[in-house]
Amino acid sequence: MSTAELNKMKLDLIAWINKLSDENLIEFLDGLKRSKSNSDWWDSLSESQKKMVQNGLDDIEKGDIISSNQFWKELKNG
């Protein structure tokens, strides 16, 4: 990836984060930012973040999933 492509991706992410209103997602992203590679990331998650992960795992077990293409299409369309 070129430097220009990387910079564009960064700007796109900043714009996307700026538009977020989901408190849980913002907390998740903050936890991701603060995580350290030499420790278990799970331990740095808040209880609400852990619940989000567990809810996702439960959805997978129930088959309540969508394709990656569908996810990105819905995200793009808001």
One digit per residue, pLDDT tens: the chain, 78 residues?
899 999 999 999 999 999 999 999 999 998 888 876 677 778 888 999 999 999 999 999 999 999 999 999 988 887
CA distances from 11 to 36, 74, 77, 78 (A): 24, 20, 19, 18
Q: pLDDT at position 37, please?
A: 63
Between CA 45 and CA 47 the distance in angstroms is 7
Sign of CA dihedral 23, 52, 65, 40: positive
DSSP three-state, residue 78:
coil
Evaluate whether 46 touches 31 at the Cβ level (below 8 Å): yes
Q: pLDDT at position 36, please?
A: 64
Global pTM reads 0.44
Between CA 1 and CA 11 the distance in angstroms is 15
